[in-house]
Amino acid sequence: MPQSGIPTGAGSPELGRARRDPVELARRLERWFGGRLPGGAEATVTASSSGAANGMSSETLLVDVVWEDGGEARVEHLVARLEPGAADVPVFPVYDLGRQVGVVGAVAERTSVPVPTVRWYEPDPAALGSPFFLMRRVEGRVPPDVPPYDFGGCWLYDAGPADQRALQDATVAVLAELHGIDRAADVFGFLAFGDGGGGSDGDGDGGDAGPGALRRHVAHTEAWYRWAVAGGPRSALIERGFAWLEDHWPAPEGPAVLSWGDARIGNVIYDGFRPAAVLDWEMAGLGPRELDVAWLLEAHRVFEDLAAQWDLPGMPGFLRPDDVATTYESLTGHGPRHLDWYTTYAAVQWGIVFLRTGSRSIALGEREAPADVDDLLHHRSTLERALAGPPAS
């Protein structure tokens, strides 16, 4: 998920992060590794913050593990993803790391989409205080969230138009390949949301992923919103958004495919301008392919609107909807439909994310609670414009 959306000049790049002590976590990991390495070797572990300017969901640490194997030193360079606790004011009500590990494994088995290799998964919270998994570290570079890549001063902004377009097209190709996985509803049945009612905790409870998957997806999002505002002020703007979505429901919605869920360039490690690792599968599910296409577009549009607010030129020629749709259709034979509706849905989901990250900043004493809760939505003007009329035909 994205960071706060606030540029460095207006807030810390680490805004809204609750952190555990990496030294203590390294000691606990050393104990956990006991009996898990070849020959019962003892591990020496060092851990540090990832330092990434992206992500507000699971906590991420860089972990180096060293041990001896047959008299030779072995080392693994890993990344640890830890489930957040309630004190972290998490973005989502449920963090099923096993579910994420299952998605990554199935994608690796069935596609050429580059995903990290998961080395260990520990569902028992006893070892570190929360479930976690360890994956091999992938070297490369990521378009930053803070400050947003389109604010300037980063490798993607400074690249030439041909390289920017190469990155855009290669990222769209990732979506095309994910959506092309055969029998996705069977392979990823564990990702299907429930029958439309959801639950007060926002957790998906299985169910058929055939026609109506979009209904279940939106019902799941509504349950997530109800959890996000439980005990606090409700967002009039987000609730207007849900009403708008219902009033302009797209038909037909199309078949369900594997949806990455958080399909944006800030969740990709690039080697040059090609994806080297596709990350962050917390929002994976089953639904129409337009969910991912629209999320990719909306994530950039939010940053473009923020750039305009700061009188910055942004990257208006990058991730243009017509270009993305044309590339996607050329790769899949499917022309994305109802993208205005799906980008508005993405904007509503971003609103829930901003509610949670804003609440986290308030809980950590980094900002005062605003008089209007909708002022926590950094893309407020983006969503208001989307709701101003019906979607384009």
Active-site annotation holder among 262, 280, 292, 374:
262
pLDDT band at residue 362 using 50, 70 and 90 as cut-offs: very high
Side chain identity at residue 105, one-letter code = G
Sequence-distant (6+) residues with CB within 8 A of 276 are: 114, 138, 139, 140, 268, 269, 270
CA dihedral 214, 220, 222, 228 (to 10 degrees): -150
Q: Please give the DSSP secondary-structure letter assigned to residue 116.
A: P
pLDDT band at residue 389 using 50, 70 and 90 as cut-offs: confident
Average pLDDT on 317-344 reads 98
Q: Is 163 a catalytic residue?
A: no
Beta bridge partners of 65: 45, 76
pLDDT band at residue 186 using 50, 70 and 90 as cut-offs: very high
pLDDT band at residue 211 using 50, 70 and 90 as cut-offs: low
pLDDT of 193 reads 85
Domains and CATH numbers, the chain: 8-136 (3.30.200.20), 149-386 (3.90.1200.10)
Of 202-211, 223-232, 276-285, 357-366, the one with minimum mean pLDDT is 202-211
pLDDT of 265 reads 98
249: pLDDT strictly greater than 90: yes
Average pLDDT on 364-391 reads 94
pLDDT of 52 reads 56
Contact call for residues 49 and 20 (beta carbons, < 8 A):
no
CB-hemisphere CA count at 13 Å for 152?
7
387: pLDDT strictly greater than 90: yes
